[in-house]
Structure formats: C-alpha cells, structure tokens
Amino acid sequence: MLEDSDDIHDFINTEVRKELDADFESMGEDPRQDALLNSLPKRKWRLEIVGVDEVRMNPLIVNSADLKTGRKFMERLRERRSELRKALETGGTVIWPIVLLREQQLLVDGYCRHSTLQEMNIPEAYGYVGRIVVK
C-alpha cells in the first residue's frame, strides 16, 4: 500500500489509468474524451480511511457492457465479488485501497473490492482519494 502522495499519483496515472483506458475502450468509449479520466493527473492523491457506504459507483461503469462479448459489468462483478469474498473470509488475500474522487465520493477503481466490503458489512476501507488542486 502506498502512502506518499507522489507515489499514489504515479500509481493512479500509470497502472490504474491503463486498466481504466482498457475498460472504457471495451465499452466503446474513447478514454481520451472522458472528463473524469482526464482529471486524474490534476488531482492531489492521499491515502485515507473512507466510509464504504458513502462511496458512489459511477453509473456509466455500472450500466456498461463489453461490446465484444455483450457481457454486462454487473454480471461479471457478481462473480468476482464471490471469489474475493471467499478469499477474504479464509484470510487468503489482502486488498488494495479503492480509488475515488473526493468531491463526488465517486468510485474510480475498485468496484469489486468496494462491493465485496459492502456485502460483508465492513464499514470502512482504505482509499486513495483524489482532490482537485486549485492553483
């Protein structure tokens, strides 16, 4: 788990961004045209403890489907959530922080982690929280 703001910024804008770009492309969206994705490098990131129930899922993501397979995001999420829950209950895994935007409390990355924690009634989680930097 990263704690330094610059390290988190780099992680979000390389590793997480690659995954998000691929997700958007699979939905038929151009990630270069998405305001949320384009705001990521402009944010100051830090590790915080966040209330799981206060975090909102992005409707664009939740209601999406893979263009090639037709598979709905929520169907795949249910499967992944079941797998993660089993691993957490047996102590077989440690999870990374979820990624969210502070202003909207909007989840950017970590849908499986977030929904699994909700399902397990775990009230708080670590989150990489990004705030817009006003200059």
pLDDT (tens digit, 9 = 90+) per residue, 46-81?
A: 999 999 999 999 998 899 888 888 899 999 999 999
pTM: 0.89
Q: Amino acid identity of 35?
A: A
Return the SS3 of 80.
helix
Q: Please report the pLDDT score of residue 60 as a whole number.
A: 85
CA distance 69 to 57: 23
Q: Amino acid identity of 130?
A: G
Question: Do the Cβ atoms of 133 and 43 come closer than 8 Å?
Answer: yes
Neighbours of 7 (CB within 10 A): 12
CA distance 95 to 118: 14
* Ranges under pLDDT 50 in the chain: none
| Residues 5-132, CATH architecture | Alpha-Beta Complex (3.90)
At CA 71, angle to CA 70 and CA 77, rounded to 5?
160
CA distance 86 to 75: 18
Q: Please report the pLDDT score of residue 68 as a whole number.
A: 85
Q: Please report the pLDDT score of residue 23 as a whole number.
A: 86
Q: Please report the pLDDT score of residue 74 as a whole number.
A: 92
Q: Please report the pLDDT score of residue 52 as a whole number.
A: 97
